[in-house]
Amino acid sequence: MICKDRVVIVTGAGRGLGRAHALEFARQGAKVVVNDLGVSAAGEGDSEGPAQEVAAEIRALGGEAVADGSDIATDGGARRLVSTALKAFGGLDVLVNNAGFLRDRMLVNMSEEEWDAVMRVHLKGHFLPLKHAGLHWRAEVKAGRPVDARVINTSSGAGLLGSVGQGNYSAAKAGIVGLTLVAAAELGRYGVTVNAIAPAARTRMTEQVFAATMAAPQEGAFDAMAPENVSPLVAWLGSTESRDVTGRVFEVEGGKICVMEGFRHGPSSDIGARWNAADLGPEIAGLLRETTPPEPVYGA
């Protein structure tokens, strides 16, 4: 068991990927805080049931778990979430930011509320738990207690490559990648690694939007879209074995793990003076010929 006695928070753990992560951490010996508001796939309503059911499932398997219904997109809720882990298990070693929902719409039809709601749960809902977990770990280090902690954030292929009809979701998930890079740089001094995953799996958020891709296979065949396929990587990133890995984004789908390579300096041209706008067409065309085409290619 690679996470024995590590204390793990998983947000959005009542269903889908979060539930799979919580169960995998429990199988790997972790003590799990199962956080979920019990909202619909569109972020509506609330229920304590999903978090309590997953926590009970873990306990029935012989593990240790508590349910938490804090709203992680509020400062007070994120603070209470971290406090729940400390009170229940005496510490915190791993934070898995996973909670989210969809409000899909083409950009010209999207309302301000639909934009704000998705930004709130995905981006703010990553920032605030990360902030309060970071405050705890910083305090531990200042008190002379060693920290070997992990944060695993959840981005998406939509955030890395874009997704038509998901402008709010794609922007939030791209923001999570930027947040991951900053947090990795800032929290490394406290013994904390921060990575992100971009998973592809069948959940309430994907089974209708990408129905053909997410369809279950024939009985007996490998189910590449099962959420449980993603969780072993998340558990490993939460283990002590991953202490040398930080600031990375991993795409994971079925049995495939891919290290994503983001922006890096490419071809450049410097004339040592201000450019004339009329001269830039041929120059930019030349630079672009030296680059690798983007993924995906639009307008072709």
**Strand pairing of 249-253 and 64-68?**
unpaired
Helix (H, G, I), strand (E, B) or coil at 269: coil
CB neighbour class for 110 (10 Å; exposed up to 12, middle 13-18, buried from 19): middle
- Give the C-alpha separation, 63 to 75, whole Å: 29
As a dihedral over the C-alpha atoms of residue 128, residue 125, residue 30, residue 18, rounded to 10 degrees, the angle is 180
- Give the C-alpha separation, 65 to 40, whole Å: 23
CB neighbour class for 47 (10 Å; exposed up to 12, middle 13-18, buried from 19): middle
> Is 13 in contact with 91 (CB distance < 8 Å)?
no
Which amino acids are annotated catalytic? 156, 169, 173
Tokens representing residue 116 in the block: 């704000």
Helix (H, G, I), strand (E, B) or coil at 258: strand
Tell me the CA distances in angstroms from 265 to 44, 49, 164, 291, 292, one per residue in order.
Answer: 42, 48, 27, 10, 12
- CA R_g for the chain: 21
